[in-house]
Structure 1
Amino acid sequence: MISAIIVNYHSHLLTARAAASLLADMPGLQVLVVDNSADSAETEKLKTVLPSPVECLVAEENLGFGKGCNLAFSRARHELVFLLNPDAYVLPGCLPRLQAFMEQNPRAGAVAPLVFWDREKQWLLPPYQAPGPSVDFVMSCALRWPWLGGKVSHRVRRQILHHCTSEAPFARTMLSGGHLMLRRAAVEAAGGLFDERFFMYFEDADLSRRLGRAGYHLYVQPAAHAVHEWLADPGKNPLVEAGQRIFLSKHHSRSCFPLMGKILERVFPSPQLPASRDLEIHSPFLPIPLPRGEKGPWIVEISPHPLFVPAAYCLKMVEGGGLAGGLVPRLGPGDYWLRIGTAEAVVPPTYRLRIEKREIHD
């Protein structure tokens, strides 16, 4: 059997949906929910909507994601433990397929499903690349020399398309903690679940690195599917940056790349954004301007980064298709880049989309 962990923070309806998806996929599953809200009213709402088999652990304060998961991990009864974000849910067959993979691959320390942005599975959220100061330096260089930016962006795109159109499981050096099955023995060999110095963000990068050092491998099982209603919210940036600083201090304190990056930014202070055309949005539906007179199938990417790292991918965009109304509100204020092309297109046409500050509903 499997134990599952969800950390709630003022999102009782989403958490209840996530828990229900787990129990529907695997009845009898142990589901532990940690309420980090530190709010008695939210706790009561949460307990009211959670399915009855769920165990609710109420924290006296907001412990953060990592520490909250650790609390539940200490109560988990089974060898396999599945972590799930409250704004995510599994699709039928996800847990049994991940479990079967772990049972067939004893050196797998963790496995993740293929993750989509929407229930219709039109938009794919590929797994992140492992972070590090060398990656940051290359990306900084790529933003200053367009020829290098094109090479880096195309290489990442080609790798993602290769993996995410494959039917076979594929290895990764990092997996997101938002939808992740772990082997308890591997976690213990790696020194425990999450380092509690990480309040939120980069704790999964740290765990992935420790699992690899302990001799375990990380995989994505594309036969298992989940949905993550990821929200691009600039308000997250301070927490992301704080987690990144801890990660770099812990694993890359002697790296020369941060200093090289500062020198680069001083000598070449202004990044050169890729050539793009502005695209306006006037409704909750964003139509995708497919090239005329050319044959698809069309692949569309949307990203908050001009080099499309990371990005959401639609692998088969059809004429008249676009970013549906349920997805547009998940784009917080800021600039986004949209790229359209075929699998063979080296430099697909790029558009820039600006979303002004507005109220965002989760």
Structure 2
Amino acid sequence: MSTFMAPAIDVVIPVYNAPELSKRCIDSVVMHLGSSIRMIYIQDDASGSETRAMLEGLLYPQVNVYHAPNNQGYGRSVNDAIARSDADWVLVLNSDIEVLGNFLPLLCTAMAADPKLVVINPTEGDMLNAKANRYLCQSGGYVTTYRFRGYAFLIRRTVFQAMGGFDPQFGRGYYEDTDLGRRLTNQGWRMGVHPDAIIRHETGASFGRGKAYQELVKRNRALYLSRYPLARQNVLVVSGACTLDDLPLKLVNSLEQVMRQGGRLHWLTPTRLPVLSCLQMRNSEIDLRVLLELMLRGWSREDKRLTEVWLLPAAPAWVRALLKLFVLMRRLEVRAWEATSF
């Protein structure tokens, strides 16, 4: 494996309270990544006195702490910190991340192998690793994703800044990363997740999962979907026994386009597909329980509801009959791909 490293990598860690987790994150970065990075920019987003004292007590020479006078939120904090860096690539970590080992060589190898790969995430625990063999690995060992997640990512700094960074309209957080991902994809850049680069993530340590979190998510989801209405696409694909390699190019491109626009695919097949193209493609064996779950999902959240049904050749007759009734009830679009197209 290539040991290529970018000439300069800085780390950015936005911090808002949670002093114990924040210190754990900083300590783990120094311990495991210290020899691979240049500077660590800590952006303190107007935290309380306990967190401020912890940050002031750090003695690491690589650490640069900036105390913002007002709480700006995640997006603005990251934008400001990256603006103080002149590194080639920047690694951004939530303060509730714990680094478990030096994963940077894996991410850097992927970035070096694919000049159009603009951002790459490590993996949270064993979330992806257990099923990584189902996804097509690209040059450099990464798996394609069309959804940028901001919990931990390595990004080309000049591209981040040329895109204007995270949009401050998303305020204190949530969906600013997804929004940037759409903009990057629309500009022809690629995004990835590396299944072998493992970190630990304590989700929601700053905002928690209470009412404030729910309101932020609801507001910013609505803003995101107003900008990218095609991201509401949730397509159910039903087929007989076939794989990605069996599909005509036109259909493959149509599937990829749904995901590229921010939508999701759930493909039902008689047996599990051996290879999936990216993380937004899901696959299950045809089963009544699974089918009913997909048909009923999203009653409380419109953006999770099925929007289209695609029927491929050899889809079981009983599934076609059940879906015909469902489609009439929900007034969904149906696309039937003819066997002559295969």
Cα distance per residue 1:185-235 (max 9 Å; x no partner): 33244x221001112000010111111112110011112111112257243
8 Å CA contact retained: 2:136, 2:143: no
8 Å CA contact retained: 1:114, 1:226: yes
Unmatched segments (≥5 aa) in structure 2: 1-7, 234-265, 267-283, 294-342
- Give 1:94's aligned residue: 103
- Give 1:192's aligned residue: 164
Question: Partners in 1 of 2:59 and 2:188 — Cα distance?
Answer: 38
Q: Indicate the SS of the match to 1:185.
A: helix
- Give 2:113's aligned residue: 104
Unmatched segments (≥5 aa) in structure 1: 117-123, 128-157, 259-308, 310-342, 351-362
Pick from 56, 59, 64 the counterpart of residue 47 of structure 1.
Answer: 56
1:127-276 maps to which residues of 2 (within 5 A)?
162-163=134-135, 168-189=141-162, 191-199=163-171, 200-231=173-204, 233-235=209-211, 236-252=213-229
Question: Partners in 2 of 1:32 and 1:164 — Cα distance?
Answer: 35
Question: Partners in 1 of 2:70 and 2:136 — Cα distance?
Answer: 39
Q: Describe the shift of the 1:257–1:208 C-alpha distance in structure 2 as closer, same or farther (beyond 3 A).
A: closer
Question: Partners in 1 of 2:167 and 2:150 — Cα distance?
Answer: 13
Q: Give 1 or 2: higher helix fraction.
A: 2
| Identity across matched positions, percent | 25
Instruction: State the AA in 2 paired with 1:99.
Output: C
- Give 1:146's aligned residue: none
Q: Indicate the SS of the match to 1:209.
A: helix
Pick from 63, 70, 77 the counterpart of residue 61 of structure 1.
Answer: 70
Question: Partners in 1 of 2:214 and 2:19 — Cα distance?
Answer: 24
TM-score (norm 2): 0.59
Q: Indicate the SS of the match to 2:17.
A: coil
Q: Describe the shift of the 1:100–1:234 C-alpha distance in structure 2 as closer, same or farther (beyond 3 A).
A: same
Question: Partners in 1 of 2:26 and 2:220 — Cα distance?
Answer: 27
Q: Describe the shift of the 1:159–1:250 C-alpha distance in structure 2 as closer, same or farther (beyond 3 A).
A: farther
Alignment partner of 1:72 is 2:44: no
TM-score (norm 1): 0.56
8 Å CA contact retained: 1:171, 1:219: yes
8 Å CA contact retained: 1:5, 1:33: yes
8 Å CA contact retained: 2:19, 2:51: yes
Instruction: State the AA in 2 paired with 1:56.
Output: V
8 Å CA contact retained: 2:75, 2:170: yes
The two structures, once aligned, show a CA RMSD in angstroms of: 3.3
Query: Which has the higher Rg, Structure 1 or Structure 2?
Result: 2
Instruction: State the AA in 1 paired with 2:179.
Output: D
Q: Indicate the SS of the match to 2:135.
A: helix
Aligned residue pairs total: 226
